[in-house]
Homo-oligomer: A and B are copies of this chain.
């Protein structure tokens, strides 16, 4: 024992550490740590000298070590059904940018609507002890629910607005979007209004929109004409088929509300082929305000969901929960955003 075995091999990869900077300046490591995390607690003079040493040495703080020591990190995890696609991209963008502005990083994963993939992403994210977690409101697996319930970091659910659920909610009501569309069509004088949705796979949110639309018409003493084109054809084809079929009816509609812009685009094309004037012979409206909506001929009236706003609002609520930005306490738990009516030529 008086013979100390040869010192273990250092594993460090020669990386520059806080201590290197501290030694260079002639202060303790903690002072340098404070330079980064609480600069106001370091005297002006030291701040100056430390700043110089940091850039001279090219020191990059090891956030992993910092997070371990402080049990906090500046990472926020987000699980979203998919990254590309017209729907969620700008939510991610808004979220990421708002976070970045406050020095937080985004850890991102896509679930493709699979509860299992979502759970594994949530589990992995939790391992990073993130500052907060954002999931897309949707059916969660039991495991996910449990993980989210047990953690004590802020959890935000986005996109669907479900006031009965526990965590912070940021979303909108598809029902409202239906109401908004119906009001617009009524205002323009249309009376025989049809709703077209793809009969294929369960787009439940489309049903909410239809209900909102139907209720509004009912209040005006009208009935919504609901139509679902035959098979699981692509949305574009389905829209075309719907337009053709509806226009052959004896009492054909004077306006069609499509469940989304893809369907509406198909409808528009079919109308062109048939030589119909839009909106003269029949008005057309969509939902989503996809990028192409304004490029169609005629340009498509539609409802724009608050995609970007959801991302930004979610980020704000997260930052407020963390105390990074001020808020009139407490953090607003329910955040119901509004869709936006985009009036173009097709109505």
Contact = CB atoms under 8 A, between A and B. Distances in A.
Contacts of A65: 68
A96 B71 contact: no
Given A93-B110, A109-B96, A292-B291, A73 B64 contact: yes
A295 to B, nearest CB: 4
B292 A60 contact: no
Given A71-B11, A89-B84, A127-B61, A105 B105 contact: no
B108 A106 contact: yes
Given A82-B93, A108-B106, A150-B58, A295 B297 contact: no
A87 to B, nearest CB: 10
A64 B129 contact: yes
B129 A62 contact: yes
A89 B96 contact: no
Give how many copies assemble into the complex.
2
Given A60-B126, A84-B89, A127-B63, A107 B105 contact: yes
B86 A291 contact: yes
A107 B106 contact: yes
A127 B60 CA distance: 6
Interface residues of A, number: 60
A100 interface: yes
Nearest to A123: B60
A124 interface: yes
Contacts of A216: none
Interface string A165-201: 0000000000000000000000000000000000000
A220 interface: no
Contacts of A11: 71
Interface of A: 11-13, 58, 60-65, 67-68, 71, 73, 75, 82-86, 89-90, 92-93, 96-97, 100, 103, 105-110, 117, 121, 123-129, 146-147, 150, 152, 236, 262, 265-266, 269, 272, 290-292, 294-297
11 contacts: A60-B147, A61-B127, A63-B124, A64-B64, A64-B67, A68-B68, A83-B93, A107-B107, A265-B292, A266-B295, A290-B291
Task: Pick the 4 closest A-B CB pairs, nearest first.
Answer: A292-B292, A84-B89, A63-B127, A84-B90
